[in-house]
Amino acid sequence: MKNDYELLDFGNGRRLERFGSYILDRPCPAAEHICSEKPVLWKQSDSRFVISSQNSERGYWTTELKPWSVSFEGINKIIKGTINMELSCTPFGHIGVFPEQQINWQRIAFALAEVSKQRTETIHVLNLFSYTGGSSFAAALAAPNISVVHVDSAQSVTDWAKRNARLNGLNSIRFIVEDVRKFVHRELRRKHCYDAVILDPPSYGHGLKGETWKLAEHLPALLSDITGLLSNNQCFILLTAHTSGFDSSAMQAMMNNAGMSQEWSWEKFVMEIPATTGKYLESGYGIFGVSPSPQNNKIG
């Protein structure tokens, strides 16, 4: 099966990507100070996002496209099937998926598929800052005995995630619209536990009632709260971020300070998207901690 996604080129502060039958040209701060490899390709774009001169967080698309669906075969190597996502050109420049997460979908699906071979009981997964649901679906599709709780503060993206869940034939995910820190505090009070935790916090964000989220200020305490949510059958924690200056070593230090067990094995990585030109676009950092339990295996 052919993947619906290709990074065709990047450079001059922009990225050119194919999502199914559409080619989009979007801003990309990581591609500043890089020259594009194939300038001629950029003429094929179906729509181009232009940042507003008044508000750098908004803008417009040169051609309005109706929402469309694509299939990502990111988990196909692990389990049969694809992740289907509805895409839409938003006034914020994002379109409903972060393609650099495909390799993490494989990590999630592989780890959970391995654990589920050893366990018949339900495996509880918590996905925080979960946006339109890619990582939630990778988890839920990994095995039949996975239960996923998906938390995001934005009602609109949670509705989008619910539509995506239907596209993937999934009806067991629990969707929560809530500020992540409030949700985690409540789960601690209720003594609810999770076997695996996934989080992709933004640099800045807002909770449901306007609560401020600042990664540098709030992530250390959130990680230590998360250690209190891990069950006796804990299998992994996956942290990714796109915050300038916050690399995998900083993530490791924060995990250690939060009291995460030193006995876990930690894989530190750079998120990169391979382009069809052969180059790689850096798209953030991550850390994947696997608990020492013999049931858990690293992605091979």
Q: Residue numbers of the site for ligand SAM (CB under 6 A)?
A: 98, 101, 129-132, 134-135, 152-154, 157, 179-180, 200, 202, 205-207, 211, 213
Q: How far is the CB of 104 from ligand SAM (least distance, A)?
A: 8
Taking the complex as a whole, the smallest distance from the CB of residue 156 to ligand SAM amounts, in Å, to 9
Q: Scanning the structure block, which residue is given the tokens 């988990």?
A: 75
Residue 70, classified by CB atoms within 10 Å of its CB into exposed (0-12), middle (13-18) or buried (19+), is buried
Alpha-helix residue ranges (DSSP H) falling in 45-150: 102-118, 134-142
What angle is formed at CA 275 by the lines to CA 69 and CA 267, rounded to 5 degrees? 90
Element (H, E) at 273: strand 265-274
- In the complex, the smallest distance separating the C-beta of residue 148 from ligand SAM, rounded to whole angstroms, is 13
Shortest reach from residue 78's CB to ligand SAM, in Å: 17
Closer by beta carbon to ligand SAM, 119 or else 218: 218
Nearer of residues 152 and 187 to ligand SAM, judged by Cβ: 152
Q: Is 286 within 8 Å of 254 (Cβ atoms)?
A: no
Q: How far is the CB of 36 from ligand SAM (least distance, A)?
A: 25
Strand, coil or helix: what is 88? Answer: coil
Torsion angle, alpha carbons of 164, 240, 111, 4, to 10: 40
Nearer to ligand SAM, 59 or 74 (CB): 74
Whether 36 and 10 have beta carbons less than 8 Å apart is answered as yes
Nearer to ligand SAM, 10 or 137 (CB): 137
In the complex, which residue's CB is closest to ligand SAM? 205
Measured from the CB atom, the residue of 30 and 154 that comes closer to ligand SAM is 154
49 vs 183, which CB is nearer to ligand SAM? 183
Cβ neighbours, 10 Å, residue 257: 11
Closest separation in Å from C-beta 117 to ligand SAM: 26
